[in-house]
Structure 1
Amino acid sequence: MKKSFEVMNVKCGGCANRVKEALKEEFGEVEVDVEQKSLTLEIEDAQEEALKKKLKELGYPVVGDENGFFTKAKSFISCAIGKAQS
């Protein structure tokens, strides 16, 4: 089923690239909308917790999850990696 998730800390194309690349192997193609700070993908309900965990590890937690200092710091690192990948 195709679902969208609102995420925090997505700031630019580098962030979007990092999310797409990091999730591709486990979750397939992911669409990231930087303006709306959201991502859309085909996902089963049973995979949602794994997705949320992975996003938090990358520094882009789903809205409603904790978004503390270390999570925000991770997003800057992920962003830099995403810019290098493009």
Structure 2
Amino acid sequence: MSYEIEVENIKCSGCAGTIVKRLSGLDSVDEVQVDVELGIVRVTGDELARAEVCVLLEVLGYPESGSTSGVNSVKAKAKSFVSCAVGRFADKPSD
């Protein structure tokens, strides 16, 4: 089964790289694709584990759209900056 989750705070391929890497580590996920421009995460895997995927996305700073507000929204943005930086660093070729 495949499903889509619209998320907040995706800014670049570094964000996408972090999301793909971390979600791919879940047993319930077979494949992950991220549309940076639309802010959509497409997951192929067990749809019953959607809640687990959403929790991990929130931990990474990419909560499902409309699921956070106020202080929690600010915290999510801060986490996403860190995840973004980690993703960019991981994508960088070594010299």
TM-score (structure 1 length as normaliser)? 0.93
Structure 1: distance between partners of 2:64 and 2:55: 9
1:14 aligned to 2:14? yes
Structure 1 residue ranges without an equivalent (≥5): none
Question: Counterpart of 1:3 in structure 2: which amino acid?
Answer: Y
**RMSD of equivalent CA atoms:** 1.1
Contact 2:9–2:80 (CA under 8 A) maintained in structure 1? yes
Question: Counterpart of 1:50 in structure 2: which amino acid?
Answer: E
Task: Tell me the residue number matched to 2:31.
Answer: 29
1:85 aligned to 2:90? yes
Shift of 1:85: 0.8
SS of residue paired to 2:87: helix
Shift of 1:28: 2.8
TM-score (structure 2 length as normaliser)? 0.85
Shift of 1:84: 0.7
In terms of Rg, which structure is larger?
2
Q: Does 59-68 or 3-12 show the bigger shift?
A: 59-68
Structure 2 residue ranges without an equivalent (≥5): none
